[in-house]
């Protein structure tokens, strides 16, 4: 057993993929290469390559999901970032280009609620022009996978423009089909039917198959799991059941409110037979299952009971330009200052690659034994 796996401490964690199981795919970044070809993809201190970038474009939201932005904390007096602190679309594009030069193949826009950021489609249009650098033999790299996670409230209005701007796919969050339950969970009385209309609009615009995120809390919405599976089975959309996580410091997380994915698989399998599917690639967050009758797929994101730090390849950019290398981090690296001080592309790439190379994060593997992190960032600030 590797050193990482042997330090596992929480009994509910039943499977930990160790970084030692992963091939070390990339040597260190060489910031001196500025010939337009792919710079080497950096690997962190546990051998995990940089593959994905999540960009949070705002820390504001029009929902107050009880597990993310509880109203008593995120009230009128909450200190949101002022607009001048946010990276501009030009600045975000520049950072994104640096990440793509370092081997990032997938970018997800998130928040807060990303569709609250004015004219977000202008940012999508900019990002969609980013071409991955050719490989060492001059062959073009895979096209950038550009996606967005949204609560769906503004999707009906925005889906066509987002597609036209170059967005590939969307993930829509929906925690219940029962209207009363959903209104209570989003805590702003937002109806289910409008989110469903947003999902339909996304599919009609060509942004499907849509992934549908459902955060499951025991005693709150776990009775909705089978109904959600049934509702989207056969539609081509993929529901992903997410274990309630202890992100940030304000959502009152309790272990007894987490429903382990294993339990959910069993509940669904009892009425809709399913079988496991291989992951598409190392680092894919959701564990995939499909209905044996061929009527579609579902996924499970099990950050609490089956930590997947071992192949976590995601970097996160905050709305005001801080780079975080873990969802549970307390501190990020400031990229906005060098950006605004006129750093070169090589300087920016070097700052990103150095941060990634220094990375040792594996919070979920150590959950419970890791020393408490000061001022842990909130989900609504950094995005899921």
Query: Which residues sit at the interface with ligand SAM, rule CB under 6 A?
Result: 61, 67-68, 110-111, 113, 149-151, 173, 213, 215, 242, 244-245, 247, 251, 379-380, 383-384
User: In angstroms, what is the minimal distance from the CB of 74 to ligand SAM?
Assistant: 12
The binder of ligand SF4 chosen from 31, 69, 96, 130 (CB under 6 A): 69
- Closer by beta carbon to ligand SAM, 132 or else 208: 208
Inter-CA distances, 278 with 51, 224, 288, 299, 301, Å: 19, 26, 7, 11, 14
Query: Checking DSSP bridges between strand 322-324 and strand 333-334, what pairing results, if any?
Result: antiparallel
| Dist CA 354 CA 232 (whole Å) | 43
Q: CA angle 376-381-382, nearest 5°?
A: 80
289 makes contact, choosing from ligand SF4, ligand SAM, none, with CB < 5 to 8 Å by partner type, with none
Closest of 207, 271, 209 to residue 235, by C-alpha: 209
Report helix, strand and coil shares of the chain as percent, to nearest 5: 30, 15, 55
8 A C-beta contact, residue 324 and residue 332: yes
361 makes contact, choosing from ligand SF4, ligand SAM, none, with CB < 5 to 8 Å by partner type, with ligand SF4
- Closer by beta carbon to ligand SAM, 206 or else 252: 252
| Dist CA 75 CA 64 (whole Å) | 9
> DSSP label at 49?
B
Buried b (16+ CB within 10 A) or exposed e, 22-39: beeebeebebeeeeeebb
| Residues 306-345 contacting ligand SF4, CB under 6 A | 308-309, 312, 326-328
Q: Does 151 bind ligand SF4 (CB under 6 A)?
A: yes
Q: Does 65 bind ligand SF4 (CB under 6 A)?
A: yes
- Closer by beta carbon to ligand SF4, 289 or else 328: 328
245 makes contact, choosing from ligand SF4, ligand SAM, none, with CB < 5 to 8 Å by partner type, with ligand SAM
User: In angstroms, what is the minimal distance from the CB of 149 to ligand SF4?
Assistant: 8
Q: Please identify, among the stretches 4-12, 85-93, 161-169, 361-369, the one whose residues bind ligand SF4 according to the rule CB under 6 A.
A: 361-369
51 makes contact, choosing from ligand SF4, ligand SAM, none, with CB < 5 to 8 Å by partner type, with none
User: In angstroms, what is the minimal distance from the CB of 363 to ligand SF4?
Assistant: 4
| Dist CA 216 CA 187 (whole Å) | 16
CA 264 to chain centre: 21
8 A C-beta contact, residue 145 and residue 105: yes
- Closer by beta carbon to ligand SAM, 61 or else 265: 61
328 makes contact, choosing from ligand SAM, ligand SF4, none, with CB < 5 to 8 Å by partner type, with ligand SF4
**Residues contacting ligand SF4: total by CB under 6 A:** 24
User: In angstroms, what is the minimal distance from the CB of 192 to ligand SF4?
Assistant: 14
Which residue has 């609560």 as its token pair? Answer: 151
Which bin fits 42, alpha (ψ -120 to 50), beta or left (φ > 0)?
beta
Q: Does 4 bind ligand SF4 (CB under 6 A)?
A: no
User: In angstroms, what is the minimal distance from the CB of 170 to ligand SAM?
Assistant: 9
Which string of x and - marks every residue 265-304 that binds ligand SF4 (by CB under 6 A)? --------------------------------------x-
Six token digits for residue 368 = 């419970």
| Dist CA 252 CA 312 (whole Å) | 25
* Residue 97, H or E segment: helix 89-101
Which string of x and - marks every residue 94-113 that binds ligand SF4 (by CB under 6 A)? -----------------xxx
Q: Does 121 bind ligand SF4 (CB under 6 A)?
A: no
Can you give the binding site for ligand SF4, defined by CB under 6 A? 61, 63-65, 68-69, 111-113, 151, 173, 303, 308-309, 312, 326-328, 361-364, 379-380
């Amino acid at each position: 057993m590797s050193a990482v796996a042997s330090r596992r401490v929480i009994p509910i964690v039943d499977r930990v993929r160790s970084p030692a199981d992963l091939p070390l795919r990339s040597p260190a970044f060489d910031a001196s290469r500025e010939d337009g070809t792919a710079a080497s993809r950096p690997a962190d201190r546990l051998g995990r390559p940089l593959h994905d970038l999540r960009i949070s474009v705002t820390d504001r939201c029009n929902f107050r999901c009880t597990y993310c932005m509880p109203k008593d904390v995120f009230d009128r007096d909450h200190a949101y970032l002022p607009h001048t602190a946010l990276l501009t679309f030009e600045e975000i594009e520049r950072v994104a280009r640096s990440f793509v030069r370092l081997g990032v193949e997938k970018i997800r826009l998130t928040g807060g609620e990303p569709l609250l950021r004015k004219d977000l489609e202008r940012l999508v249009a900019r990002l969609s022009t980013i071409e991955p650098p050719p490989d060492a033999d001059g062959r073009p790299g895979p096209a950038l996978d550009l996606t967005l996670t949204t609560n769906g409230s503004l999707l009906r209005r925005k889906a066509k423009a987002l597609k036209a701007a170059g967005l590939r796919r969307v993930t829509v969050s929906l925690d219940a089909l029962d209207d009363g339950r959903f209104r209570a969970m989003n805590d702003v009385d937002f109806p289910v039917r409008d989110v469903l209309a947003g999902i339909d609009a996304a599919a009609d615009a060509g942004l499907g198959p849509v992934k549908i995120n459902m955060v499951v809390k025991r005693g709150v919405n776990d009775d909705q799991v089978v109904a959600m599976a049934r509702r989207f089975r056969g539609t081509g959309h993929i529901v992903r059941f997410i274990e309630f996580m202890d992100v940030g410091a304000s959502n009152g997380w309790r272990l007894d409110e987490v429903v382990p994915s294993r339990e959910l698989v069993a509940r669904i399998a009892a009425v809709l037979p399913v079988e496991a599917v291989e992951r598409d690639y190392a680092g894919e967050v959701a564990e995939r299952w499909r209905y044996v009758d061929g009527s579609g797929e579902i996924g499970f994101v099990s950050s609490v009971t089956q930590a997947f730090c071992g192949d976590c390849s995601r970097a996160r950019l905050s709305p005001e330009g801080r780079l975080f290398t873990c969802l549970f981090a307390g501190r990020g690296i400031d990229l906005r200052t060098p950006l605004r001080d006129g750093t070169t592309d090589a300087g920016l790439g070097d700052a990103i690659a150095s941060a990634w190379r220094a990375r040792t994060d594996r919070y979920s593997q150590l959950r419970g034994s890791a020393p408490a992190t000061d001022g842990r960032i909130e989900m609504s600030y950094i995005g899921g």
